[in-house]
Amino acid sequence: MLELTNIDYFYLFTGIFFIVGFLTPLMRKFAISADILDRPVHAHKTHENPIPYLGGVAIIIGILLVSYGGLIYQGRSTSNFWTASSLLIPASILGFIGFLDDWKNLPPFPRFIAQSIAGVLTASILIATDTIGNPSGNVFLDALITVIWVVGISNSINFFDNLDGGAAGTVAATSLGLFLITQDNGQYFLSALSITTFGAMLGFLLWNKSPARIYMGDAGALFLGMLVSVLALRLNPEVDGRTASFAIPLLLLAIPILDTSVAVLSRVRRRISPFQGGRDHLSHRLMRRGFTKRGSAYALWSLSAIFVAIAVTLATSKGDTNLILGLAIAFWLGLFLLFFNSEDSD
């Protein structure tokens, strides 16, 4: 069984922080030389000058190096390599699809098909290995929920990556919450991946915070979406009641889910394609209310931190969680109504 100490977590965190912090400017130089840039040719873009992509490639390389390097260094068994690969390989495949999109600008439908295939593959692995926390008890329903969750969260993180540091800071908050919950429950493998993801986000934010010098692109957003969605699925929080157990992953990712819900439903209401870009995300709405880019990022990070704190409280609380859960749901619905009823803009 994989068991880690505090010093192990420290090594994982510092290792990935410096690796991603070092690789990101190298990928920036390569992206500029290869002309892999995010050009502000669409109205929904918030930057004025071309920004290089491929920050996500630095994140992927860093997480793979630290994850497999840690397993090799500690001489872990074949089963631990299989467990790691069952998560990291599908996420890397999805990241590769995102890289192709960053490079060649793929149409939405092939990306969706690739995400769905990755979701089905991941669901099959999770169901076959019985590694989903708190399943419904019905194999078909478990598989369907897993596919919808993986594809939905992967797209949510991708959609949410529309602001300097926005997605990276939010994933940092989510992964820190995942670490606190899994470390408390003795889920050492999940806690190791969670603290690794947290360190990777902080290392990337050195270059991605406003004003961003590089973007993670679809490569990073889809990889991270797959990663955190499956980590959240594998949670086994020690709480009473199935409702609270299922609510914890939703709370950990409440703000990306809110952003996607507001944007998609807004586009459906206006009879335009949900896949069409627009200035209807939370970041755009905040900036129309007078927030700067940096202020918008701080606001979204803060909201993410609030919901993550609620999730951690639910997961570690030994008492009645109904009041906490009710307040969290009311807060989320209030934010939804506030943003959904604000002014839309294409």
Asked whether 230 and 111 are in contact (CB, 8 A), the reply is no
Instruction: Show the tokens assigned to 81.
Output: 């390599």
For 238-259, b/e burial (b = at least 16 CB within 10 A) is ebeeeebbebbbbbbbbbbbbb
Domain boundaries, the chain: 6-340
Do 221 and 158 form a contact (C-beta atoms < 8 A)? yes
For 133-150, the pLDDT digits (tens) are: 445 666 777 777 888 888
Nearest C-alpha neighbor of 174 from the set 203, 197, 141: 197
Residues 6 or more apart whose Cβ sits within 8 Å of residue 319: none
Residue-level pLDDT at 124:
73
pLDDT digits (tens, 9 = 90+) for 63-97: 999 999 988 877 656 667 877 888 898 899 889 98
Residue whose entry in the numeric block shows the structure tokens 């478990």:
142
Cβ neighbors of 186 (< 8 A, separation 6 or more) are none
pTM over the 0.85 mark: yes
pLDDT tens digits, 327-339 = 899 999 999 999 8
Half-sphere exposure at residue 92, Cβ-oriented, CA atoms within 13 angstroms: 14
Neighbouring CB atoms inside 10 A of 333's CB total 11
Helices (H), 135-281: 139-160, 166-185, 188-208, 217-233, 242-252, 254-269
CA angle 15, 255, 185 (to 5 degrees): 55
